[in-house]
Amino acid sequence: MFSKLYKHRYGPVLLIAVMVCSISFITRCILMVKSWPSLELNPLSFIGIFLIGLFYDLVVSSFFAIPVALYCWLMKDSIYRKKWHRIPLFILFFLLSFILLLNAGSEITFWDEFSVRYNFIAVDYLIYTTEVLENIWESYNIPLIGAGVVLAAVALVFIARKALMASQQVSMRFADRSKFFMLFLLFPLAGYFLVNNHFKNISNNNYVNELGGNGIYEFGTAYWNNEIDYNRFYATRNDTTNIAMLKSMLQEPGATFTNNPLSVQRVIKNDSPEHRWNIVLISVESLSGDYLAHFGNKEHITPYLDSLIPHSLFFENFYASGTRTVRGLEALSLAIPPTPGQSIVRRPDNADMFSMGNVLLSKGYDVNYIYGGNAFFDNMGKFFGANGYKVLDKRDIPESMIHHTTAWGIDDEGAFEFTLQQCDKSFAAGKLFFNHIMTVSNHRPYTYPDGRIDIPSAAQSIAGGVKYTDYAIHHFLTAASSKPWFNNTIFVIVADHCSKSAGKTDLPVNRYHIPCFIYAPALIAPKAETRLTSQIDLAPTVLGMLNLNYTSRFLGYDIFRTPAGMERAFISTYQDMGYVKDGKLVILSPQRKIQTFAINFTTGLNTPIPADSALVHQAIAWYQGANFLYKNEGYKMVK
């Protein structure tokens, strides 16, 4: 009976579908068990997960079967039916089985770290193979895992051998094979043109929706939707109306806008003299707010940062724009809301942007972007180098300063020691400096120099990575405090994004809550700032503290010159654009979808509420306006 089912020239195509669906079903079950505490299941959603999951699995099967169908179509009968021809068939299915099994293991690992199917992060991992492959080698026992996958693939081929041999028993002329092949092609074509990854969204629980998807399909979606046309896929309004609304929301004391109805360009003029202060901006890899004891953490992994809070201007309600480092760097350097698809940092047309670096460069500062890894990663080097920064990465850091290396770069201590050297160099030359440092140690495999903290590097734990970075910042600021330029320098410490972004609901706001410190004991009075603040507000706020006079195109607020009640934050994935204001969340999604929620800042749960038209119009103004300005050179440097 088993062999009769596959007794057809295209039997291997059916076999591929069975293999893909079976492995995907097992993977889905494993992911369901792993996320069980966060699932909100009812009989309909439970059935929906597996029915919709089967639909996506069949779509992926049609893509995966293309090389098999081509083989069955083109191979001559006189060769295909030979006994020895089992060997190339077995080899082909071994390779496909190996890929499917390896993908299943990778999906489970990806889910463990991000609680979602593949997304832009997975696409980025494929592009930056050097860092990723080295990181995987450092984090896992690859020889053992590889051997296990090979054995499992061999076992699958052994199980499928009779089905493969059955397909050799039937003769089929080329004309008949061609008809079957053309019929088969209808399935992958329909899957490509008629299916999208929104069909799985049947629940308000994000885990339910993710389980209904298929990782391979989600990977393809993320890859092809690198940049999403806002005007084509999202709710829109008139561009002039949007810009007029942005101007009214960006109005602050001392700001004078131009008469151009399609520009937010304005002159920032202060009554008091400019402060000639240095700036050191530390963007910390994956530093979630809930790592701090101040926000309830019990592991004591940020002892120094927690101790710094009473001595800093500390932002209690500060929110990251996205879930990736490039989103954080985009927000911190450009002060622009996220645009759908990939970060501007990763896009080709991103030179001469209106950046914090370019503003300070025009004021005579030495402007450096310092990264302990290879700045090729995430296009950081090209982006910062084209926007006012001198890029310095691990290739510029002397061996004598390096204590430890991973696939992602050198230890944070070494990068900070190198930063001190750059500060000294600028000071000795009589120059003000702006040094932006991006840390790397809080990243898998979470290893660091031994003997620094009480969590051994060999533990390879997130807690260790966080605590080591805390130690390195302490070491850096302690060394800086003895420098002659210390009392004239403000130190900004902020996360690029949280360590995890997934939750039970779309855009759980608690997964975007990050700490932000401005520490300058001789210059800035300590204070707990409780107003809602977005990551894009940091650059104009810091420049406002310096009383800088400049022509601005930023879309961020100087939070201390913004009227009460105007506070808002932006949170996003690569498709969903969230606007947080007045305890509500508006989500703009493809297919011009608009949702409004009441949000719980502690749990991240979103409760659907009727649309607030004023809030929806504001959300569209910010996001469509940001896209318009970027696309029409309204966010280039002022000439």
pLDDT in tens, 568-618: 999 998 889 999 999 999 999 888 899 999 999 999 999 999 999 999 999
DSSP labels, 506-562? SS-GGGGEEEEEEE-TTTS--EEE-S-EEGGGHHHHHHHHTT--EEE---S--GGGS
Q: Are strands 569-572 and 577-581 parallel, antiparallel or unpaired?
A: antiparallel
Q: Which helix (H) or strand (E) holds 65?
A: none
Residue pair 372/414 in contact by the 8 Å Cβ criterion: yes
Using the predicted structure, report yes or no on whether residue 129 has a pLDDT greater than 70: no
Displacement of CA 416 from its chain's centroid (Å)? 25
Our CA angle for 182, 185, 190, nearest 5°, is 135
**CA dist., res. 629 & res. 568, Å (int):** 20
Residue pair 403/427 in contact by the 8 Å Cβ criterion: no
Comparing 284 with 165, which gets the higher pLDDT?
Answer: 284
Q: Give the percent of the chain with pLDDT over 90.
A: 72
pLDDT at 531: 97
For the residues 114-138, what does the mean pLDDT come to?
A: 67
Using the predicted structure, report yes or no on whether residue 21 has a pLDDT greater than 90: yes
| Phi and psi angles of residue 492, each rounded to the nearest 5 degrees, phi first | -110, 125
Domains identified in the chain and CATH numbers: 2-224 (no CATH), 239-631 (3.40.720.10)
For the residues 129-141, what does the mean pLDDT come to?
A: 68
Q: What does the pLDDT look like over 230-278, one tens digit per residue? A: 887 899 999 999 999 999 999 999 899 999 999 999 999 998 999 999 9
Question: According to the per-residue pLDDT averaged within each range, which of 125-129, 211-215, 299-303 is highest?
Answer: 299-303
pLDDT at 130: 60
Q: What does the pLDDT look like over 23-64, one tens digit per residue? A: 999 999 999 999 888 887 788 888 999 999 999 999 999 999
Q: Which helix (H) or strand (E) holds 554?
A: none
Our CA angle for 84, 88, 94, nearest 5°, is 130
Query: pTM of the predicted model, to two decimals?
Result: 0.78
| Phi and psi angles of residue 247, each rounded to the nearest 5 degrees, phi first | -60, -40
Using the predicted structure, report yes or no on whether residue 127 has a pLDDT greater than 80: no
595: tokens are 């949702």
Q: Give the percent of the chain with pLDDT over 70.
A: 95
SS3 content of the chain, % helix, strand, coil (to 5): 50, 15, 35
Torsion angle in degrees (nearest 10) through CA of 282, 288, 289, 293: -100
Q: What does the pLDDT look like over 380-422, one tens digit per residue? A: 999 999 999 999 999 999 999 999 999 889 999 999 999 999 9
Per-residue pLDDT band at 110 (split at 50, 70, 90): confident
pLDDT at 1: 45
